[in-house]
Chain A
Amino acid sequence: MEGSYDHQEAAIRALVQVDSLAIDSTVDVSHAVRDRVARSLTRPWRYRYGVAFVTAILVAITVGGVTAIAVGSASGLIQIQWLRVPLLGQGKPLSASVQNREVTSLADAQTRVGFPVEVISGIEAHLDRVEYQPPLMMEVNGQVAPHNTGAVVLYYTLGPTRLQVVEQLDSAGPGPLHVVLKSPPPSAEDASSIGVEPVAGADRVVTRSSRGQIVALEWKTLANVIITINVEPPVGIDSSTAASLILHLG
């Protein structure tokens, strides 16, 4: 009887295995997964955008009883906020983070920031120097804490143009790119303008000179890394060069 049972189980096993082969090893759901992950990042961001924006305004208006005006503008996954209050709020910076940058290797900088650094490759951009920028330490109500995360700063030469690329994990976590600027929104008469523009297939924060050239770009990757490209003034770059730079970052 037991032998019969074993045979029956073996037969059932074989039948179930044959049935499972309806799905062969060429199956590929990676595209569907990528789509879902991308959408999952988009949906909550849009939701959080509203909450974050309202919260930011309320915080800006109420912190310290200081008169503050917050004006927001946004497109897609980017939120720009203009505040007439100190950028660092009530906190007191304990170190000059930018001045503490140290020249290092790409590998070392990557280890210290803890994420894969994107490097421009495939075009005539020469990587001149790599720096690690430590987090800015702040003292708020007697408590010392990092205000942000460490950053990698990459300096390139692209023909006559010099570029600085800053890559930094967003300490705020997943969510829209939240850009806070310590000045009122520029009017049409201002020498430069900041806005959100589509470049290389996605929205970026674009700073243009008075001559219309791009002098800075900023966006946030799916890996939660904020990338900023600064173009050494007074020479800017045009939109197609900016798109090419972004497409060659990887």
Chain B
Amino acid sequence: MTDTEAIDALRRGDSEGMEALVARYQTRAMRLAYQITRDRAMAEDLVADAFLAVYSNVGRQDPSRPFEPWFLRIVANRAISYARRRARFQQLAHLLQGNDRSEAPDELAERRDIGREVADALTRIPPAERAALSLRYAMDLDERSVAEIMQKPIGTVKTLLHRGRHRLQRQLLAAGGGIVAMSTTGGKL
């Protein structure tokens, strides 16, 4: 079943249309939502809600335009919105708790893990930059498509990508892991 057939089926109230869209797009949507929110459970929640939004608003989808950018825009907008709200809450919680927490030795050891370093570094950059990085690099979309999904001018997307790359690099340098050398000298990962 093609996207067009699936959407037509959904418009007729045929649940097979939704099943087809979920099967085709859930992994990419989950990856995008996870990379923006840094929270797997929340990503699942957001993606399920995004599919529900598709179900509720399928009449508004322009049949002449591809489904994926429209859908990823819904996912990205929701994930960015959630991530921003959580960041504000965490800042407040941090202020209320004070900043005297020292890391335990096992936590320090864990932080040596490359995946964790990258994950931590990504967590510290703004959600919009995470979204741009995820769409550009994990989804492998060109800048024009990223701009379309994020509903921002292409210049803004270039800026988000540029800032995101540098911020990620700085975070990784600050973490001091082995991947830093590779990312700054051009070594292969």
* B-binding residues in A (CB < 8 A): 3-4, 7-20, 22-25, 27-30, 32-37, 40, 114-116, 222-225
Contact = CB atoms under 8 A, between A and B. Distances in A.
Contact of B118 (A8, A18, A222): A18
Interface string B125-140: 0000000011011100
Q: Which of A25, A36, A114 has the most CB of B within 10 A?
A: A36
Interface in B133-151: 133-134, 136-138
Nearest to A27: B30
Given A19-B122, A20-B134, A23-B31, A37 B52 contact: yes
13 contacts: A3-B186, A8-B184, A12-B169, A18-B189, A20-B138, A29-B30, A29-B44, A30-B23, A32-B45, A33-B51, A37-B15, A223-B12, A223-B15
B177 to A, nearest CB: 11
B179 interface: yes
A7 B26 CA distance: 31
Nearest to A14: B189
A159 B44 CA distance: 48
Contact of A15 (B55, B118, B184): B118
Interface string B48-62: 110110011000000
Contacts of A11: 179, 182-184, 186-187, 189
Nearest to B44: A29
Contact of B26 (A3, A18, A29, A225): A29
Q: What's the dominant secondary structure at chain B's contact region?
A: helix
Interface residues of B, number: 46
Contacts of A13: 136-137
A12 B52 CA distance: 33
Interface of B: 12-15, 18-19, 22-23, 26-27, 30-31, 34-35, 40, 43-45, 47-49, 51-52, 55-56, 115, 118-119, 122, 133-134, 136-138, 165, 168-169, 172, 179, 182-187, 189
Nearest 3 Cβ contacts at the A-B interface? A7-B186, A32-B48, A20-B138
Nearest to A16: B137
A23 B23 contact: no
Contacts, number: 122
B34 A223 contact: no
B35 A115 contact: no
Given A16-B134, A25-B27, A223 B13 contact: yes
Contacts of B165: 8-9, 12
B15 A40 contact: no
Nearest to A32: B48
Given A33-B51, A36-B48, A19 B115 contact: yes
Contacts of B19: 30
A19 B118 contact: yes
A223 B19 CA distance: 14
Contact of A28 (B12, B18, B26, B35): B26
A27 B19 CA distance: 14
Nearest to A22: B34
A28 B55 CA distance: 17
Nearest to A31: B48
A102 B29 CA distance: 47
Contacts of B185: 7
Contact of B115 (A18, A23, A37): A18
Given A32-B45, A40-B55, A19 B119 contact: yes
Contacts of B189: 11, 14-15, 18
B46 to A, nearest CB: 10
B138 A29 contact: no
A48 to B, nearest CB: 14
